[in-house]
Structure 1
Amino acid sequence: MIETVLGVDLGSNSARAVALDRDGTVVASASGGYPGAGLWPDGWADPEGWLSGVVEAITRVGVTPVAICVGGQSPTTVPADGGMAVTVRHPAGVTGSPTEQHYAQREVLGVDRVLQVYDWLMGRLGAPACQSRWPGDPTMEHYGPRAETGEVVGRTDGSHGLPEGIPLVAGAQDAYMAFWAGGLDVPGRALDPGGRTGGLAVAIERTGAGTDLYALRSPAAGVDIVGGPVSGHGLMLEWLAGLTGRTVPELLKLAEQVPPGADGVLLLPYLEGERAPRWNRDLRAEITGLGSAHGPGHLARAALEGAAYGLRHIAASLPIPMDVMVVAGSPATSPLWCQIKADVLEVPVEVPAETGLAAYGSALAAGAGAGWWPAPGEAEGGSWPRPAVTVVEPSPKAVYREAYERFVALGDAAEQRLS
């Protein structure tokens, strides 16, 4: 029987589980839904629903792993003694540093003892209370004793249909796990984590180069990650689907029929303000160049291109160039969107066979706990396996370069109106 480790990512809409062998090959994967999620108040969630999704995903994978790790959305805070959780979608979790956001969520809950959501889930599987932390992250008060990502913190207790005694390994938030799986342990590699939000992160040698954007430790010693999140690239497409009465796959099909540049339609994907590189919550989405000859396909194409321009805007503010960009999440399943990103950013794009990179990263942490690979921060770049990828080569276009300049100017004008 093949030995496997199991990683789980608690996503916004479902839980994803991935089993890896010692070579880092995906042996099996599955997802699980959250019962009753449609009834949860905005910014709140019932963690029992999350637990149900995690258990379903683990069960459907159908392996008995040598170690399990759970990571996921952050900041999200759960009362240690039970009750509704405050999620990343709550206003208390959208400003300040990650630590400040967690503390704001705890104040909303009004309780003393709290846990990060993935630590709460590990506790329900049998681990004692702990605070999983990525290397370099500060320890938070009231969130339990610190445990480093990749450290064994307990064992399964035989509940939820799992065998007793499987090591449970400290995880981290989904962004860290996706960076790890995407190979951001080598300078010059970049990642767009996709999903409803998205963003851009680039690995850089730890030289102290200044940047106004978010920076954190890479899995590799001597390497940092710089970049920033965006507010709603995937959300923009979901909103258009609701507006037009079409599904997202239908919109993507229509967008394929529209030429690069969307026949002059340009879109700022700022439905909920924008984070990097503008950091302005008051901005709103804008569409320009729209005429009577345009239809839903043009809007969809403009949304895809606007997301790519947003990534290029972040890249322009970074201290180093990118060599390659990895894409993840549901946007990575669209060949058109991957090609647009390659063409606009003018770099090769790697599309992993397993687009759930956060779950793959959690499996890497489980493997570290099993002694298969080093824990993050304990080795140089290239010390961990990566998922198999397909490479999309760029085809730079003048129409994209011109539209990008218009995109930046349109955003600048919007900020000036707000000042």
Structure 2
Amino acid sequence: MLSDTAVVGIDIGTSSSKGVLVSPDGAVLATAVRRHAVDRPAPGQVEIDGERCWAEAADILRELTRAGDHRIVAVGVSGMGPCVLVTDEHGRPLRPAILYGVDTRAGAQIARLTAELGGAERIRQRCGSALSTQSAGPKLAWLSEHEPAVFARARRFFQPSSWLGWRLTGAYYVDHHSASQCTPLYDAGARSWYRPWADLIAPDLELPPLCWPGEVVGTVTPAAAAQTGLPAGIPVIAGTVDAWSEAVSVGAHRVGDLMLMYGTTMFLINTVTAPLTAPTLWGTVGALPGTRNLAGGMATSGAITGWLAELFGTDDYPALLELAEASGPGAGGLLMLPYFAGERTPVADPDARGVIAGLTLSHTRGDLYRAALEATAYGVRHNVAAIEAAGGPVDRVVAVGGGTQGGLWTQIVSDVTGLEQAIPARTVGASLGAAFFAASAVEPVDIDEWNPIVATRKPRPELRDRYDRLYQHYLRLYPATTPVTHALAAYQQEAYQQEAYRHEVDRHGADRHGADRREAAAR
């Protein structure tokens, strides 16, 4: 690319939308962020409005196109996933998108489909993963059962990345990696849709054509150019799920690499030589052609630190990190289970709940914040153990995401796991991976030159014994508290249903009262 050119990468995440303008040598010329909150209409339900995502993306793109005198030559996209955004035949959303594994509404559908399709092992052998809250298929089945009028009108479904691609180009598609998380609709061995199971769950949906994340899917339309400020006619690259885009952004796609994504949730992606599966992990097609992954994800990580900051009435995260560092290893004897939104891997329990054990009146904000950071580190160790037990080689760990800032969180994870972590020059995340794909579509680009490793976080051996003991307590705490937390999860759901029923009764009462008044006035 010429020196006056640039590419754009944009990502729709759980807590924000982000965009980057990047030069041919990988320098980030400008960034733009729009923070948002997801909707939680009921316990276990997490959604986001598709039109709001597009409006944020268009706003970000307008800001980036005005950032300096650069000729933009390509754009890449990514987004959280797997999600379920259903639309009519014209691509108009029929309801908000249902999010990935943090949305746990489809438990009954997971159980029913697992039985109908011959059991978890049969599904895992064909699709790479058993059905779980991460799977898109059961959420489509939930829509069919709970919102039949909506589902009857549904003709297409999108991921956040393909939704952006559709709005920019008018091309209906999904990338192979995202499709491999739409279990059980996709055959991971054949790398194609599996029609018998897709037709069973969603017979009226038009399954999108498949492509690889780095492929060009179309060009920016004149209408999209008017909305975004992008030049009409430039190529748009397919993109993929944000975590896989982040792995690409730091070069963590070689066999034996493990990417740790520090974000609202914690994600782990291990690149493997051949397809691997495990009962509570996700075997997927990789972001690059010919690659395979074994992956895991925690339902919360940064979400807990954000929750604590809100409770503490501050958004001064550097100050909270100072307090956590002062608390010291072990957080003053506090131990936390980070299952504040259920848990994905390796627990696979949507009814798990957060636990804070060991609290006394002497504990401080710093202790609680430190306990949250250590809890996610124990969760990482638990996932790494599951990956290694399944045969995944963990030879190199690369850290990425906003949680790498400041250094304390990554240091705690290294201390707890005993693993070194490579820290790249830029931890912008998925939007940088999307920009890399865009640049690669114009001319060959080396990610190691774009985003070199600049630091290494090493475990401190003097803390190993202490954290080994605490980790064993962590492993025991979940089964010891499960009967109580499951009962509380059921209580929460019952309380929500009762409250929803009262609101419905009140609403109908108000409607009847209004009708009576209108009838009296008419008389």
Cα 1:100/1:351, change in 2 over 3 Å: same
Task: Indicate which of 277, 291, 304 corresponds to 2:360.
Answer: 291
Percentage of matched positions with identical amino acids? 27
SS at match of 1:206: coil
Q: Indicate the residue corresponding to 1:30 in structure 2.
A: 31
Q: TM-score, normalising length from structure 1?
A: 0.87
Tell me if the contact between 1:44 and 1:84 (Cα under 8 Å) persists in the aligned partners. Answer: no
Contact (CA 8 Å) 1:9, 1:174: kept in 2 or not? yes
Query: Quick check: 1:372 aligned with 2:440?
Result: no
Q: Is this contact kept in 1: 2:403–2:409, CA < 8 A?
A: yes
Q: CA–CA distance in 1 between the matches of 2:169 and 2:471? A: 51
Greater fraction helix: 2
Q: Compare 115-124 and 343-352 and name the one that shifted more.
A: 115-124
Classify 1:240/1:118 alpha carbon distance in 2 versus 1 (closer, same or farther; 3 Å): same
Aligned residue number for residue 515 of structure 2: none
Shift of residue 134, structure 1, vs aligned partner:
2.7
User: How far apart are residue 383 of structure 1 and its match?
Assistant: 7.5
| Paired residue type of 1:391 | T
2: CA distance between counterparts of 1:7 and 1:93?
A: 32
Aligned pairs for 1:123-272 (under 5 A) are 123-134=166-177, 137=180, 138=186, 139=193, 141-157=205-221, 158-160=225-227, 161-206=229-274, 208=276, 212-219=280-287, 223-247=291-315, 249=317, 250-272=319-341
* 1:359–1:288 Cα change, 3 Å: same
User: Structure 1's 229 and 292: CA in aligned 2 closer, same or farther, altered over 3 A?
Assistant: same
User: What letter is aligned with 2:85?
Assistant: T
> Is it true that 1:77 corresponds to 2:101 in the alignment?
no
Quote the Cα distance in structure 2 between the aligned partners of 1:167 and 1:299. 48
Query: Is there any run of 5+ residues in structure 1 with no aligned partner, and where?
Result: 374-381
Instruction: Pick from 382, 396, 410 the counterpart of residue 338 of structure 1.
Output: 410
CA distance in 2, matches of 1:136, 1:142: 14
**1:103 counterpart = 2:140:** yes
> Which consecutive unaligned segments of at least 5 residues does structure 2 have?
108-131, 181-185, 187-192, 199-204, 488-523
Residue 192 (structure 1) shift: 1.9
Q: Counterpart amino acid of 1:197?
A: T
Q: Taking structure 1 as reference, are residues 96 and 288 closer, same or farther at Cα in structure 2, changes over 3 Å only?
A: closer
Structure-2 separation of matches of 1:192 and 1:11: 16
Separation of aligned partners in 1, 2:276 and 2:24: 35
The answer as to whether partners of 1:265 and 1:289 remain within 8 angstroms in 2 is yes
SS of the residue corresponding to residue 33 of structure 1 reads strand
Q: What root-mean-square deviation, in Å, do the aligned CA atoms of Structure 1 and Structure 2 show?
A: 2.9
Deviation, structure 1 residue 223: 4.3
CA offsets per residue over residues 210-240 of structure 1, 9 Å max, x none?
5641122334566432131111111221222
SS in structure 1 of the partner of residue 262 of structure 2: coil
CA distance in 1, matches of 2:218, 2:96: 23
Task: Give the residue type in structure 1 aligned to 2:4.
Answer: I
The equivalent residue for 1:64 is 71
Distance 2:378 2:104 in 1: 27
Q: Secondary structure at the match of 2:352?
A: coil
**TM-score, normalised to structure 2's length?**
0.71
Task: Report the secondary structure of 1:165's partner residue.
Answer: coil
1:31–1:53 contact (8 Å) kept in structure 2: no
Deviations 1:196-222 (A, max 9, x none): 211322222227575641122334566
SS in structure 1 opposite 2:259? strand
CA drift of 1:322 comes to: 2.7
| Structure 2 residue identity aligned to 1:26 | A
Q: State the alpha-carbon separation in 2 of the partners of residues 346 and 206 from structure 1.
A: 26
Report how many aligned residue pairs link the two structures: 409
Partner of 2:305, secondary structure, is helix
Instruction: Report the CA distance shift for 1:46/1:135 in structure 2 as closer, same or farther (over 3 A).
Output: closer
> Contact between 1:184 and 1:225, CA under 8 Å: does it hold in 2?
no
